[in-house]
Amino acid sequence: MDLYVYYRVDPRHADALRDRVLAMQSGLTREYGIVTGLKRRPEEKDGRQTWMETYAGVTAGARQGIDRAVEQAGLASFIDGQRHVECFVDVAPCA
């Protein structure tokens, strides 16, 4: 399963949030072997940036680990609103 997590960020918090997310994702890669990414939309809307964390190859255990890591990193204090999590799985090809 792959996770896509998006949220809005006040640009004043961008540097601090980036550092925390990248450190958190590095730890998750070491612990669970998942491939991570961090992106943002190029434009701002209503004075906010939209950011997206990506996680490829997430198992049930890794999903719980991500949730714990987010809490431990204190990301909520740097984002505006909620973290929206979307889960996707690969589509099996027809035989």
* 74/13 Cα distance (integer angstroms): 13
Ordered DSSP codes for 34-78: -EEEEEE-SS-BTTBEEEEEEEES--HHHHHHHHHHHHHHTGGGG
Q: What residue spans define the domains of the chain? A: 2-88
Fold exhibited by the domain 2-88: Alpha-Beta Plaits (3.30.70)
Burial 14-39 (b: 16+ CB within 10 A, else e): eeebeebbeebbeebeeebebebeee
pTM to 2 decimal places = 0.91
pLDDT, mean of residues 63-89: 95
Is 90 exceeded by the pLDDT of residue 22?
yes
What's residue 57's pLDDT? 92
Is 90 exceeded by the pLDDT of residue 6?
yes
What's residue 95's pLDDT? 66
pLDDT, mean of residues 50-74: 95
